[in-house]
């Protein structure tokens, strides 16, 4: 079973629409971290946000917002008024402690967002 599930493989919207990317995770640890990364066509993953398991406050950064709900093990990402430059693959990741005490991130399969002009 996947630890991080991004059920939406591809989403296509028209510019200025709002879009939500879903992320559901699975862990038995009480301490863990969640991330979102953006991968533009250039290939390099760009860090967007980090959230620890004890902080359920939602966060807004410009047109981006994140909704963390431990009750449903979800960490969804919303882009408001989407733009063509938002077109990319977005990855959700979970970082939990391994047996050696290290934190190793596990990534979802990604959601490809296409924003049409």
Partner 1 sequence: DGGITQSPKYLFRKEGQNVTLSCEQNLNHDAMYWYRQDPGQGLRLIYYSQIVNDFQKGDIAEGYSVSREKKESFPLTVTSAQKNPTAFYLCASSISRSSNYGYTFGSGTRLTVV
The residue (of 100 and 117) whose beta carbon lies closer to partner 1 is: 100
From the CB of 43, what's the least distance to partner 1, in Å?
A: 4
Strand partners, 57: none
Is-contact 25 92, C-beta < 8 A?
A: yes
Say whether residue 64 binds partner 1 (CB under 8 A). Answer: no
From the CB of 81, what's the least distance to partner 1, in Å?
A: 26
Which string of x and - marks every residue 22-61 that binds partner 1 (by CB under 8 A)?
-----------x-x-x----xxxxxx--x-x---------
Say whether residue 104 binds partner 1 (CB under 8 A). Answer: yes
Is-contact 66 51, C-beta < 8 A?
A: yes
Q: Pick from 109, 75, 68: which is nearest to 91 by CA? A: 109
Provide the pairing of β-strand 33-39 with 88-97.
Answer: antiparallel
Say whether residue 105 binds partner 1 (CB under 8 A). Answer: yes
Phi and psi at 54, nearest 5°, equal -95, 0
Interacting residue ranges for partner 1, rule: CB under 8 A: 6, 9, 33, 35, 37, 42-47, 50, 52, 91, 95, 100-110
């Amino acid at each position: 079973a996947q630890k991080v599930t991004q059920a939406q493989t591809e989403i296509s919207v028209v510019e200025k629409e709002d879009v939500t990317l879903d992320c559901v995770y699975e862990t038995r640890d009480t301490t863990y971290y969640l991330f979102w990364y953006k991968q533009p066509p250039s290939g390099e993953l760009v860090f967007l946000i980090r959230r620890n398991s004890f902080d359920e406050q939602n966060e807004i950064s410009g047109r981006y917002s994140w909704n963390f709900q431990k009750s449903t093990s979800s960490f969804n990402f919303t882009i408001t008024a989407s733009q063509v430059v938002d077109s990319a693959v977005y990855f959700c990741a979970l970082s939990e402690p391994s047996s050696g005490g290290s934190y190793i991130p596990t990534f979802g399969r990604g959601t490809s967002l296409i924003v049409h002009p």
